[in-house]
Structure 1
């Protein structure tokens, strides 16, 4: 869980409340890029990430969308254009129109629009740098390294299942598959507080292949 403080509701504007956000401890992303007419072969990409908050899931996706101009930015542009046009037409309707005043008004409006646009571009560059840095910090591995990690996890999981089954049989003696499955699940729940569906068939088959147990 990722925790952070946030201003609470109107009943306590100056107070703070602690909010917990679900966080994925490990995420593996598998994807293929869309094929094109010139390049029809599509390789499979595998990437491994750590500590990804649910709200930040988009940063691990291959096709991240960069933010565009917000409605408020367009409102600023529109208001600036309207105010500038009104000021220009008002100046033109005067008996002696001062072209320097019109030029000054237009320069101010254009300058404000350009400033708003470049401010957006600067914020976009900062956002992209933040995403790149976050990806670098949270990516554990990719490609063959991730596949080797998965294979190692699978092997460890199967070894643990075999050891746990053998331990229960040493403690209880003879047992049916149903009883062994139940006792293994109960031990895991008692020791680790986790409920699981123990793969007793795979564990027993491996014990039989090793010659440790027999029917």
Structure 2
């Protein structure tokens, strides 16, 4: 492919929305191949922001297959161990539910002091360090990861489903953390750009969009005094912004991450800016050509107040029309974002704690169940930590989930429950596993007895 065509394709892929005007100009300007290539290269550098692209879904600890489905798939391969594994799974679920319930109640108790939905008065200043630390641990147990500064910057610079970029006023936050759980690719229908529609005659196309399956925000705004001191009182979100806000969203495009923030200002696309400015510029040019000579005394007739008034009235009409179109375009953007977020928002504040605990409980049980099941089903092999890790990851991949399985965490759960037999690890701590250690588990009957003993000992009054 010639270099200039390659560059043209790069520019077209960079953004279907911000380059329409450039394409229209280039289409009608006669340029040599060399001149065209140089111009395209300059435009590519100028429009560097939209070039942020998200790579394929990276390895993740989060297991996207539901607990019920994993249980069903394992039992289908369990053979004679099916009944025993069913009972072991039930006991594991019950034990972790009890553990996580205690964590849930503790988090809710701490959070009640600055819960925005509380009926009690919330102080403007408070210390949420203890809650944030405990909440972060619950998120880590559920395989949530914090959004990096690089990921956030890519979202701010790019656009995906929403044809708009938003400026987030980060300085208004006293505290802010954003977490993600799971990444996947979904299908979306995208309308063609103006150039592709008019010149190339292209219709809507189906594209792959990379999304975060779940997003959680933890945020606290500055007090009113901060906005007053910074002369930005107009941006103060009001008394409803008091407290520590928790927000849970689903299926958020990676390049549209900024739409979940409550304090944003829209940046219009260049093509929409041109749609607004073009009528104004055209109107001014028409007025200039029609009445300019009269105003300068080159045409026939006299320059009267009525004429000047007519010109000013026409000019004001063009300005008002352009301003109205700008407001309608901005309104359409915000309406689109608001409508989409209505269906993507899953929970707020204390309800987020409930869902996070549920996610964490499910992940913990899935890890323990997978580790125990494959140690049982492959008992003749006597797995090491590495071979078990590889076995489970291949099994998950076979069922459509590319996961970096946390085998050490899963085995430590079984070790803590006393379900592992230890061989070849005399020199190591009893509470750790060596990579080369051969790992076996208690027989199902002994495992059930052990789990039942733990359950009976929970309330030993």
- TM above 0.5, yes or no, is yes
Whole-angstrom CA distance in 1 between matches of 2:309 and 2:319: 15
Whole-angstrom CA distance in 2 between matches of 1:175 and 1:143: 43
Q: Out of 179, 184, 187, which is 1:2 matched to? A: 187
* In the alignment, structure 1 residue 90 sits paired with structure 2 residue 275: no
Whole-angstrom CA distance in 2 between matches of 1:72 and 1:102: 28
- SS in structure 2 opposite 1:52? strand
The answer (yes or no) to whether the contact 1:24–1:51 under 8 Å persists in 2 is yes
- Highest relative contact order (Cα 8 Å, sep 6+), 1 or 2? 2
- SS in structure 2 opposite 1:198? coil
TM-score scaled by length of structure 1 = 0.77
Q: Deviations over 1:71-130 (max 9, x none)?
A: 564465455456546726624725533433332232222212212212222332233222
Counterparts in 2 of 1:5 and 1:116: CA distance versus 1, 3 Å: closer
Counterparts in 2 of 1:156 and 1:63: CA distance versus 1, 3 Å: same
- What residue in structure 2 maps to residue 46 of structure 1? 246
The answer (yes or no) to whether the contact 2:374–2:388 under 8 Å persists in 1 is yes
* In the alignment, structure 1 residue 182 sits paired with structure 2 residue 390: yes
Q: Answer with 102-111 or 84-93: which moved more.
A: 84-93
Q: Out of 305, 309, 315, which is 1:103 matched to? A: 309
Whole-angstrom CA distance in 2 between matches of 1:16 and 1:125: 26
Whole-angstrom CA distance in 2 between matches of 1:75 and 1:18: 28
CA RMSD of aligned residues (A): 3.4
Counterparts in 2 of 1:195 and 1:77: CA distance versus 1, 3 Å: closer
The answer (yes or no) to whether the contact 1:52–1:138 under 8 Å persists in 2 is yes
The answer (yes or no) to whether the contact 2:215–2:252 under 8 Å persists in 1 is no
- What residue in structure 1 maps to residue 409 of structure 2? 202
Counterparts in 2 of 1:137 and 1:182: CA distance versus 1, 3 Å: closer
- SS in structure 2 opposite 1:38? helix
Gaps of at least 5 residues in structure 1 are none
The answer (yes or no) to whether the contact 1:23–1:51 under 8 Å persists in 2 is no
- SS in structure 1 opposite 2:205? strand
- What residue in structure 2 maps to residue 60 of structure 1? 260
- SS in structure 2 opposite 1:22? strand
The 5 A counterparts of 1:61-76 are: 61-67=261-267, 70=273, 73-74=276-277, 76=279
The 5 A counterparts of 1:162-173 are: 162-173=368-379
Whole-angstrom CA distance in 1 between matches of 2:226 and 2:190: 48
Give 1:156 shift.
0.9
Runs of at least 4 residues off by over 6 Å: none
Whole-angstrom CA distance in 1 between matches of 2:200 and 2:288: 42
- SS in structure 2 opposite 1:65? strand
- SS in structure 2 opposite 1:214? strand
Whole-angstrom CA distance in 2 between matches of 1:204 and 1:44: 36
TM-score scaled by length of structure 2 = 0.40
Give 1:31 shift.
4.7
Whole-angstrom CA distance in 2 between matches of 1:128 and 1:46: 22
Gaps of at least 5 residues in structure 2 are 1-185, 228-241, 423-461
Whole-angstrom CA distance in 1 between matches of 2:393 and 2:187: 30
The answer (yes or no) to whether the contact 2:393–2:405 under 8 Å persists in 1 is yes
Q: Deviations over 1:26-57 (max 9, x none)?
A: 231425356357259x8543322223334433
